[in-house]
Amino acid sequence: MTGIEKKTAAITGAAGGIGQAISRQFVANGFRVVGGDADQADLDKLEAELNRTGQIVWSKAGDLREKSYCEELIEYSVQATVTSARSKVWRPTLGILHIPPRKRAFTGSQQQ
Protein backbone atom coordinates (compact mmCIF):
# COMPACT_ATOMS: atom_id res chain seq x y z
CA MET A 1 0.00 0.00 0.00
CA THR A 2 2.30 2.71 -1.18
CA GLY A 3 1.23 6.26 -0.49
CA ILE A 4 -2.08 5.57 1.30
CA GLU A 5 -0.99 4.44 4.74
CA LYS A 6 -2.92 6.10 7.55
CA LYS A 7 -5.24 8.16 5.36
CA THR A 8 -8.84 8.84 6.30
CA ALA A 9 -11.62 9.00 3.70
CA ALA A 10 -14.91 10.79 4.45
CA ILE A 11 -17.66 9.20 2.38
CA THR A 12 -21.24 10.40 2.16
CA GLY A 13 -24.03 7.99 1.33
CA ALA A 14 -21.97 5.30 3.07
CA ALA A 15 -24.87 3.23 4.40
CA GLY A 16 -25.87 1.76 1.05
CA GLY A 17 -25.37 1.48 -2.68
CA ILE A 18 -22.41 3.21 -4.27
CA GLY A 19 -21.34 4.91 -1.02
CA GLN A 20 -21.21 1.58 0.78
CA ALA A 21 -19.22 -0.01 -2.06
CA ILE A 22 -16.79 2.92 -2.02
CA SER A 23 -16.46 2.62 1.77
CA ARG A 24 -15.63 -1.07 1.47
CA GLN A 25 -13.07 -0.36 -1.28
CA PHE A 26 -11.33 2.33 0.74
CA VAL A 27 -11.20 0.03 3.77
CA ALA A 28 -9.86 -2.81 1.60
CA ASN A 29 -7.10 -0.44 0.47
CA GLY A 30 -6.07 0.46 4.03
CA PHE A 31 -7.92 3.72 4.56
CA ARG A 32 -9.70 4.67 7.74
CA VAL A 33 -13.27 5.70 6.86
CA VAL A 34 -15.72 8.26 8.21
CA GLY A 35 -19.12 7.36 6.79
CA GLY A 36 -21.98 9.81 6.56
CA ASP A 37 -25.58 8.96 5.70
CA ALA A 38 -29.14 9.73 6.79
CA ASP A 39 -29.67 6.10 7.87
CA GLN A 40 -28.08 5.64 11.32
CA ALA A 41 -29.09 1.97 11.63
CA ASP A 42 -27.40 0.97 8.36
CA LEU A 43 -24.37 3.12 9.20
CA ASP A 44 -24.07 1.29 12.52
CA LYS A 45 -24.21 -2.08 10.72
CA LEU A 46 -21.53 -1.05 8.23
CA GLU A 47 -19.32 0.38 10.96
CA ALA A 48 -19.61 -2.77 13.08
CA GLU A 49 -18.97 -5.06 10.12
CA LEU A 50 -15.91 -3.20 8.85
CA ASN A 51 -14.46 -2.68 12.33
CA ARG A 52 -14.67 -6.46 12.91
CA THR A 53 -12.13 -6.81 10.11
CA GLY A 54 -9.64 -4.80 12.15
CA GLN A 55 -10.17 -1.52 10.30
CA ILE A 56 -11.02 1.85 11.79
CA VAL A 57 -14.41 3.09 10.65
CA TRP A 58 -16.53 5.84 12.21
CA SER A 59 -19.99 7.02 11.24
CA LYS A 60 -22.10 10.13 11.67
CA ALA A 61 -25.73 10.22 10.58
CA GLY A 62 -27.44 13.31 9.26
CA ASP A 63 -29.02 15.10 6.32
CA LEU A 64 -26.62 16.50 3.72
CA ARG A 65 -29.21 19.08 2.72
CA GLU A 66 -28.56 20.74 6.08
CA LYS A 67 -25.53 23.00 6.16
CA SER A 68 -25.00 22.32 9.87
CA TYR A 69 -24.70 18.56 9.25
CA CYS A 70 -22.19 19.13 6.43
CA GLU A 71 -20.10 21.29 8.75
CA GLU A 72 -20.37 18.69 11.54
CA LEU A 73 -19.37 15.85 9.21
CA ILE A 74 -16.33 17.79 8.00
CA GLU A 75 -15.32 18.66 11.56
CA TYR A 76 -15.88 15.04 12.66
CA SER A 77 -13.70 13.85 9.77
CA VAL A 78 -10.96 16.35 10.60
CA GLN A 79 -10.98 15.28 14.26
CA ALA A 80 -10.81 11.60 13.27
CA THR A 81 -7.91 12.45 10.97
CA VAL A 82 -6.08 14.46 13.63
CA THR A 83 -6.43 11.70 16.20
CA SER A 84 -5.54 8.79 13.95
CA ALA A 85 -4.02 9.80 10.62
CA ARG A 86 -2.04 12.40 8.75
CA SER A 87 -4.20 13.18 5.73
CA LYS A 88 -7.70 12.61 4.43
CA VAL A 89 -9.81 12.19 1.32
CA TRP A 90 -13.29 13.65 0.90
CA ARG A 91 -15.51 11.49 -1.33
CA PRO A 92 -19.08 12.72 -1.65
CA THR A 93 -21.47 10.28 -3.30
CA LEU A 94 -24.57 12.43 -3.02
CA GLY A 95 -24.98 15.51 -5.14
CA ILE A 96 -27.38 18.37 -4.66
CA LEU A 97 -27.99 20.28 -7.87
CA HIS A 98 -29.23 23.83 -7.90
CA ILE A 99 -30.28 25.18 -11.28
CA PRO A 100 -30.85 28.93 -11.15
CA PRO A 101 -33.85 30.30 -13.05
CA ARG A 102 -33.17 31.44 -16.59
CA LYS A 103 -32.86 35.14 -17.20
CA ARG A 104 -34.90 34.99 -20.37
CA ALA A 105 -37.88 32.79 -21.02
CA PHE A 106 -37.94 30.57 -24.10
CA THR A 107 -40.82 31.61 -26.38
CA GLY A 108 -40.96 28.44 -28.45
CA SER A 109 -39.77 29.96 -31.70
CA GLN A 110 -36.48 31.42 -32.76
CA GLN A 111 -35.62 33.45 -35.81
CA GLN A 112 -32.70 32.26 -37.90
By percentage, how much of the chain surpasses pLDDT 70?
A: 67
CA distance readout (Å), 79 to 10, 28, 76, 96: 11, 22, 5, 25
Confidence of residue 14 (pLDDT cuts 50, 70, 90): very high
The domain locations on the chain are 7-91
Measuring CA to CA, which residue among 9, 64, 56 is closest to residue 39?
Answer: 64
What is the average per-residue pLDDT within 45-68?
A: 86
Cα distance between residue 106 and residue 50, in whole Å: 52
Using N-to-C axis directions, what is the helix angle for 17-28 and 40-52, rounded to 10°? 20
Q: Rounded to whole angstroms, how far apart are CA atoms 92 and 44?
A: 19
Cα 30 → chain centroid:
17
Report the mean per-residue pLDDT for the chain: 76
pLDDT tens digit sequence for 16-39 = 999 999 999 988 888 888 899 999
pLDDT at 10: 87
- Residue 107: what pLDDT? 53
- Is pTM beyond 0.75? Reply is no
pLDDT tens-digit map of 70-101: 888 888 888 877 765 444 455 555 554 445 55
CATH topology of domain 7-91: Rossmann fold (3.40.50)
